[in-house]
Structure 1
């Protein structure tokens, strides 16, 4: 019996959910190609939206696309589809980051209790996709409860990564690393130019004539440079920031895509618990600084991102590119 393929309308809805993923400077470095005849959906790197100064090795690009892939899988599961995917399926086409085949859950030949539970767990995250927004505002001092921390760890582990909270003595050092890296960014002409271009870039939106058709993306500020309310008077110390380090065992392009999926899954779980989150990967791009993020008391691994978590106010969404700019149907 022939396997049912999703309609173009369904694919459009899934890709729209995928593009709500976070990316460095909101560059949104993805392209989707749907090959209707074969029912295959390709996720490709958008090379015109790469950041050669801020992301010289392409780690953040791969992670952003990995986050979009996770959103796609979540939306697919919620709509009754099983998204079987392969990361970097063609060694001769490095821009092809993932190939996805969508099958109706009832048509999946390898149905099992484990797969059903995984699809249910993914589908349960769907309502968090439009609610997840990066927040650089000050957070309350309330500690993230241990059961929630464990859920975040499990979310990352399900995608083949590790998420560990920095120890109280190590967290301030990691935050200082982020401040140092941000300071270097402002002193580096290439990175500063990219920061200005992508955080103040005008994103085209479909709108009626006469309406404002462009919106800037807000400036990123992981270290809290623009949140003076967080600063305590001299001589006083508040609780250490609640930072979590996302890592994988290896450090290859496939691991970067995996890390992006793990990051977004953890962020969706955090959103479900009313947690605010900010992510920093820029500091790790400075190779002479990145090693500092590794806590010697925690298991070894390549750290790809640092998450700052806490309870804060609602964050504003960043603008998204219209669907016709990110999805091609053939």
Structure 2
């Protein structure tokens, strides 16, 4: 096996893979720096791309960075390293959320890494209806295992519990569209054709459910000119609940890694995903999303799964814009 080389092209590939991760409102709140002495890529936050109204504690920010770290680790493995990930490596630097050390080559190529790596470039969350058959139980089991590998939990609620979660999501959506701070903040991340390569383009907003049963995020609320005509969504959505044992910064980063591992695994199987984050932005409603029959746990994300259109990619910053060599 030829040892991998950490040259400029390889660094661009690694950072580009990290930047392809999902982030709340596509804020892309990350910056990368190479420490040559240890061949470590540091992952830091970008203060100006935070959401003080929707994410005052930075939970969603940490999840976004965690997703980028998972992509970075996957790309490094694919290119031949056995990367060592350190989360929150220095308490004296709170903006330094992770370090990924690359100086040890991998002795063997992991068979699953290639498929996950290719999925990085094809993964898109979508806001449109699912029209295909139900996701097979065998695939759902793989998604549960993907979360478990990252020390997280993925629950698959039954129909009654799903209805309860959708009700909580609908209540959160009503609050988000009527709260002035939340509404203003969300709309500020909707981008026109000449905007910077982050945020949500108008073309990616998506329609609402004609029946009102499935509460999709309405970024165009109170702006009739941007509304699409409502369309029918699936009658029985398949919702997965991503949870962690704890609820501290480390848990949020692990939740982000687990979320992206789940999304990449879904992409390998051509399963589409849509993220229902509304209830996570209101502390009481987020607490209510727990299934009391499962015991302790902290819900971090609701994931809607199914088959449908691939969806259009949202814009991404270039590697050169987020990397210091």
Checking the alignment, whether the CA contact within 8 Å between 1:141 and 1:239 is kept in structure 2 is no
Match of 1:218 in 2: 204
Provide, for residues 171-222 of structure 1, a one-character-per-residue CA deviation record: whole Å limited to 9, x for no partner.
Answer: 11211222221221111111112111112265436xxxxxxxx965733778
Checking the alignment, whether the CA contact within 8 Å between 2:127 and 2:205 is kept in structure 1 is no
Match of 1:153 in 2: 144
Match of 1:250 in 2: 246
Within 5 Å, which residues of 2 pair with 1:213-292? 218-219=204-205, 223-224=215-216, 228-230=230-232, 239-292=235-288
Provide, for residues 259-297 of structure 1, a one-character-per-residue CA deviation record: whole Å limited to 9, x for no partner.
Answer: 000000000010111111011223112011112211233
SS at match of 1:105: coil
Within 5 Å, which residues of 2 pair with 1:73-222? 73-106=73-106, 116=108, 119-140=110-131, 142-200=133-191, 203-204=195-196, 218-219=204-205
Return the alpha-carbon distance in structure 1 between the equivalents of residues 235 and 313 of structure 2: 28
**Structure 1 unaligned spans of 5+:** 206-213, 232-237
Q: How many residues align?
A: 304
Provide, for residues 36-86 of structure 1, a one-character-per-residue CA deviation record: whole Å limited to 9, x for no partner.
Answer: 243221000111101000111100000000000000111111111221110
Query: Runs ≥4 in structure 1, deviation > 6 angstroms?
Result: none
Match of 1:300 in 2: 296
Return the alpha-carbon distance in structure 2 between the equivalents of residues 215 and 281 of structure 1: 18
Aligned CA RMSD, in angstroms, stands at 2.3
Return the alpha-carbon distance in structure 1 between the equivalents of residues 90 and 136 of structure 2: 42
Matched, 1:45 2:31: no
TM-score (structure 2 length as normaliser):
0.87
Return the alpha-carbon distance in structure 2 between the equivalents of residues 263 and 157 of structure 1: 11
Return the alpha-carbon distance in structure 1 between the equivalents of residues 308 and 139 of structure 2: 16
SS at match of 2:243: strand
Q: CA deviation at 1:321?
A: 1.1
Q: CA distance change for structure 1 residues 198 and 125 in 2, over 3 Å: closer, same or farther? A: same
Q: CA distance change for structure 1 residues 125 and 219 in 2, over 3 Å: closer, same or farther? A: same
Checking the alignment, whether the CA contact within 8 Å between 2:30 and 2:322 is kept in structure 1 is yes
Matched, 1:58 2:58: yes
